[in-house]
């Protein structure tokens, strides 16, 4: 592969809802550049982007694939991001390091949840957006309906067609370029005269395009008023500015069929003229003193190095691969760079670019390029590579909280020894994956964005030599009391030799929000001060294992107010036992209840499905907080017990056909209703008996 300087580079994130045709579109573009002799198909499991065995088996993109296109003496780094919502972290990182976002919209299905997620992330990073309406060859494909959906879904944006389709469904055979007013048939390499029957539509659309381009620049507006038209170069320049203008919010619209390779060549040409070179990108960094700073354009090789690691992959043959985007400066093979996130030196022994799984060694990457390096010692996703003198870090994306949780257990003793290291490696590579030892439920917990996300993580763990079993985790209930109660317990044991004696009278009181507290009201020496630590130790032994259902005890105040001791037989162990048993008796009579975690839940679904979601929430003990309409979609916010949300993602996908998404965050603990609590306690007691 040639060496490309900054002005010859373009970086685009290809995003959209699952099955909108992104991977097939990449195949068509690779074929057009001569990188492929024939286009692969997802059904045949031979596409460049979906090269992993897991992706082939599922017929689905599971991670972002880097695909450089060498086209017209430029390199276009295409980041083909997964559209499945479980892997939105991959999409978010791809958008973070690109310079423009290509949103692929299915001409049959129109705007979907994945479309909106991609749009939202592009807005967060102030990225210009280009739309291509894809799959125009499919039955029921409708360009105008899809365009209208885009306009109603994103009313703040102006959607300006640059291409319009010639035909539709089986008759889709080309596009009209509204800049040149020429027809491009099939892949679109050659120009033809405009079909006469499309002239009126094309001329109207051309006027709208010219006006949108003129709006972006004062000189262009003046020329447009004088001549009533602009040159193709002026239209392209104006549209590029308009797409980057936060006020104008202009979106160029193209039309393609990846599977039939129609309209793909003009789209590739557009990526060279409508996407700005990387030098125009500004970046936000955090200085060593913690203050944020924007590094403004232009960026160049002459600047100190600043690169961001947006993806980490553990290759079974090569080892750890780190994907990075150079925001400024350049990198050569064998360079030493400074990981400013972890404050460690790294050496770039093997510098390469990837095309899917194909590794292409390179000697140098210029400012703005995207590359891969193998076998760095201490670098992971989200790290900044730079210089020790500069010391700043590039701002990381904010990732959503996990939605799906499993408890994991190793299958064998050998798996147990390696489990922690492998889970840490997986979570380092994927910021939307987390694991922890949960002391409240005494389980190892792995959290992700959905069932498929977790299943893929389990498969990757197996490839790294650790086999894990999963189950639904326990709900982290807590036990507490609702009223005061007292109890006295005497521990007395005679064994022929020295005996054991200790008597403790204590009172329990609710201690809402303050955790556990221990104090004494004993006066006159009924119990020696030396035994109070023993009493507290006995009580502490109950706090973790609970009294009524085996869950940790919180928000209780224990007050010892009386007791007795024996001058010979009173010992530390006696008062531990007496304190423990007195606490248990008092707890059971103090209106003991279970507390459960309550989650803030936000569900976004098509408006027509709102009734189904509300009805389902009623079965989950939810308290609906609000309902809003955002375009064609409804947003429902509610507070729902975690116990009712454990597998909600699966149910929501089933109810909405994959068109609904949700977010979930911890809110607070609340009392479990009596009928639910009795069921939990009964199950606990049965398990104790059988265990």
Structural domains in the chain? 6-276 (3.40.50.300), 283-394 (2.40.30.10), 404-474 (3.30.70.870), 479-591 (3.30.230.10), 594-676 (3.30.70.240)
The answer to whether 193 and 184 have CB atoms below 8 angstroms apart is no
10 Å Cβ neighbour count for 664? 20
User: What's the distance, Cα to Cα, between the start and end of the chain in Å?
Assistant: 65
Least confident of 112-116, 143-147, 529-533: 112-116
Is 70 exceeded by the pLDDT of residue 95? Answer: yes
List phi, psi (to 5°) of 375. 65, 40
The answer to whether 400 and 449 have CB atoms below 8 angstroms apart is yes
- Tell me the pairing of strands 364-365 and 358-361: unpaired
Rounded to the nearest 10 degrees, how much is the dihedral formed by the CA atoms of 223, 226, 229, 235? Answer: 10
81-119 b/e (C-beta count within 10 Å ≥ 16 → b): bbbbbbbbbbbbbbbbbbbbbbbbbbbbbbbbbbbbbbb
Task: Give pTM, 2 decimals.
Answer: 0.86
Task: Give 505's strand partners.
Answer: 488, 562
Q: Quick one: pLDDT at residue 611?
A: 92
Rg (CA), the chain: 32
Alpha helices in 187-287 (DSSP H): 199-215, 218-227, 232-244, 264-274
In this predicted model, which residue has the larger pLDDT, 315 or 470?
470
Task: Give 78's strand partners.
Answer: 12, 67
Q: What is the DSSP string of 305-367?
A: PEEEEEEEEEETTTEEEEEEEEEES-EETT-EEEETTTTEEEE-SSEEEEETTEEEE-SEE-T
Instruction: Kindly report the average pLDDT of the chain as a whole number.
Output: 92
Range ranked top by mean pLDDT from 195-204, 227-236, 242-251: 195-204
Is 90 exceeded by the pLDDT of residue 205? Answer: yes
Pick from 299, 360, 372: nearest CA to 331: 372
Q: Quick one: pLDDT at residue 356?
A: 86
- Measured CA to CA, the distance from residue 20 to residue 111 in angstroms comes to 10
Percentage with pLDDT > 90 across the chain: 71
Task: Give 361's strand partners.
Answer: 352
The answer to whether 513 and 489 have CB atoms below 8 angstroms apart is no
Q: Quick one: pLDDT at residue 342?
A: 93
Sequence-distant (≥ 6) Cβ neighbours of residue 396 within 8 angstroms: 382, 431
10 Å Cβ neighbour count for 389? 7
- Measured CA to CA, the distance from residue 435 to residue 312 in angstroms comes to 17
The answer to whether 253 and 162 have CB atoms below 8 angstroms apart is yes
Is 60 exceeded by the pLDDT of residue 542? Answer: yes
Report which secondary-structure segment, H or E, holds 372: strand 370-374
Q: Quick one: pLDDT at residue 81?
A: 95
Mean pLDDT of 339-344: 94
Pick from 508, 619, 522: nearest CA to 553: 508
Percentage with pLDDT > 70 across the chain: 99
- Measured CA to CA, the distance from residue 170 to residue 165 in angstroms comes to 12
Full 3-state SS string of 456-489: HHHHHHHHCCCCEEEECCCCCCEEECCCCEEEEE
**How confident is the model over 12-57, as pLDDT tens digits?**
999 999 899 999 999 999 999 999 999 999 898 999 998 888 888 8
Is 80 exceeded by the pLDDT of residue 494? Answer: no
Rounded to the nearest 10 degrees, how much is the dihedral formed by the CA atoms of 53, 56, 57, 62? Answer: 80
**How confident is the model over 430-455, as pLDDT tens digits?**
999 999 999 888 899 999 999 999 99
Is 80 exceeded by the pLDDT of residue 691? Answer: no
**How confident is the model over 384-421, as pLDDT tens digits?**
999 999 888 999 888 888 889 999 999 999 999 999 99
- Measured CA to CA, the distance from residue 248 to residue 242 in angstroms comes to 6
Q: Is 269 helix (H, G, I), strand (E, B) or coil?
A: helix
**How confident is the model over 132-165, as pLDDT tens digits?**
999 999 999 999 999 999 998 899 899 999 999 9
Mean pLDDT of 532-558: 95
DSSP 277: P
Q: Quick one: pLDDT at residue 496?
A: 65
Alpha helices in 17-64 (DSSP H): 22-33, 53-58
Q: How far is CA 551 from the centre of its chain?
A: 31
Report which secondary-structure segment, H or E, holds 612: helix 610-618
Q: Quick one: pLDDT at residue 498?
A: 74
The answer to whether 207 and 189 have CB atoms below 8 angstroms apart is no
Q: What is the largest CA-CA distance in the chain?
A: 115
Q: Quick one: pLDDT at residue 617?
A: 96
- Measured CA to CA, the distance from residue 310 to residue 323 in angstroms comes to 6
Q: How far is CA 61 from the centre of its chain?
A: 15
**How confident is the model over 262-304, as pLDDT tens digits?**
999 999 999 998 998 999 888 888 888 888 888 888 889 999 9
Helices (H) then strands (E): counts for the chain: 16, 37
**How confident is the model over 566-582, as pLDDT tens digits?**
888 889 999 999 999 99
In this predicted model, which residue has the larger pLDDT, 241 or 626?
626
Strands (DSSP E) along 88-145, which ranges?
100-106, 129-134
- Measured CA to CA, the distance from residue 87 to residue 65 in angstroms comes to 13
Pick from 485, 473, 482, 440: nearest CA to 671: 482
Q: Is 386 helix (H, G, I), strand (E, B) or coil?
A: strand
């Amino acid at each position: 592969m040639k060496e490309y300087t900054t002005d010859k580079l373009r970086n685009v994130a290809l995003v959209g809802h699952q099955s909108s045709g992104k991977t097939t579109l990449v195949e068509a573009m690779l074929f057009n550049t001569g990188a492929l002799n024939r286009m692969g198909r997802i059904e045949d499991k031979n596409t460049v982007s979906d090269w992993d065995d897991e992706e082939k088996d599922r017929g689905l993109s599971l991670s972002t694939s880097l695909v450089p296109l060498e086209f017209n003496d430029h390199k276009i780094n295409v980041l083909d991001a997964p559209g499945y919502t479980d892997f939105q972290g991959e999409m978010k990182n791809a958008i973070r390091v690109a310079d423009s976002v290509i949103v692929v919209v299915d001409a049959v299905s129109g705007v979907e949840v994945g479309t909106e997620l991609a749009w939202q992330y592009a807005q967060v990073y102030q990225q210009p957006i280009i739309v291509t309406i894809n799959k125009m060859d499919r039955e029921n494909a409708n360009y105008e309906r899809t365009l209208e959906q885009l306009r109603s879904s994103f009313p703040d944006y102006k959607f300006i067609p640059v291409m319009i389709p010639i035909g539709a469904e089986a008759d889709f055979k080309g596009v009209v370029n509204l800049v040149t007013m020429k027809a491009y048939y099939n892949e679109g390499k050659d120009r033809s005269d405009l079909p006469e029957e499309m002239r009126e539509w094309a001329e109207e659309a051309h006027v709208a395009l010219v006006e949108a381009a003129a709006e972006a620049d004062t000189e262009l507006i003046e020329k447009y008023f004088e001549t009533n038209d602009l040159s193709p170069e002026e239209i392209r320049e104006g549209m590029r500015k308009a797409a980057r203008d936060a006020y104008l919010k202009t979106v160029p619209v193209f039309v393609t069929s990846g599977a039939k390779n129609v309209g793909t060549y003009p789209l590739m040409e557009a990526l060279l003229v409508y996407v700005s070179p990387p030098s125009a990108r500004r970046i936000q960094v955090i200085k060593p003193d913690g203050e944020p700073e924007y590094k403004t354009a232009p960026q160049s090789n002459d600047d100190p190095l600043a690169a961001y690691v947006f993806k980490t992959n553990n290759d079974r043959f090569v080892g750890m691969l780190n994907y990075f985007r150079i925001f400024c400066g350049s990198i050569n093979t064998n360079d030493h760079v400074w990981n400013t996130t972890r404050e460690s030196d790294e050496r770039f022994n093997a510098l390469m670019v990837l095309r899917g799984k194909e590794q292409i060694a390179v000697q140098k990457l210029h400012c703005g390029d995207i590359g891969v390096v193998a076998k760095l010692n201490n670098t992971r996703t989200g790290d900044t590579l730079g210089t020790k003198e500069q010391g700043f870090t590039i701002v990381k994306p904010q990732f959503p909280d996990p939605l799906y949780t499993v408890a994991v257990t190793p299958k064998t003793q050998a798996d147990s020894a390696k489990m922690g290291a492998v889970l840490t490696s997986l979570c380092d590579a994927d910021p939307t994956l987390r694991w922890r030892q949960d002391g409240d439920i005494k389980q190892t917990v792995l959290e992700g964005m959905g069932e498929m996300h977790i299943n893929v993580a389990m498969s990757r763990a197996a490839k790294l030599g650790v086999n894990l079993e999963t189950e639904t985790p326990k709900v982290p209930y807590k036990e507490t009391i609702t009223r005061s109660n007292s109890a006295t317990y005497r521990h007395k044991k005679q064994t022929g030799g020295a005996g054991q004696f200790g008597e403790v009278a204590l009172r329990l009181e609710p201690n809402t929000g303050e955790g556990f507290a221990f104090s004494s009201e004993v006066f006159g020496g009924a119990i020696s001060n030396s035994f109070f630590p023993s009493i507290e130790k006995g009580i502490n032994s109950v706090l973790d294992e609970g009294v009524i259902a085996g869950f940790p005890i919180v928000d209780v105040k224990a007050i010892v107010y009386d007791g007795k001791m024996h001058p010979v037989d009173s010992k530390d162990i006696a008062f531990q036992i007496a304190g423990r048993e007195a606490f248990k008796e008092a707890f059971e009579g103090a209106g003991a209840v279970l507390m459960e975690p309550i989650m803030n839940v936000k569900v976004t679904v098509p408006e027509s499905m709102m009734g189904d979601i509300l009805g389902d929430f009623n079965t989950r003990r939810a308290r609906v907080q609000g309902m809003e309409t955002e375009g064609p979609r409804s947003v429902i916010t509610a507070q729902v017990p975690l116990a009712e949300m454990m597998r909600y993602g699966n149910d929501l996908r089933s109810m909405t056909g994959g068109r609904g998404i949700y977010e979930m965050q911890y809110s607070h603990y609340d009392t479990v209703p009596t009928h639910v609590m009795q069921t939990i306690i009964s199950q606990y007691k049965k398990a104790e008996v059988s265990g």
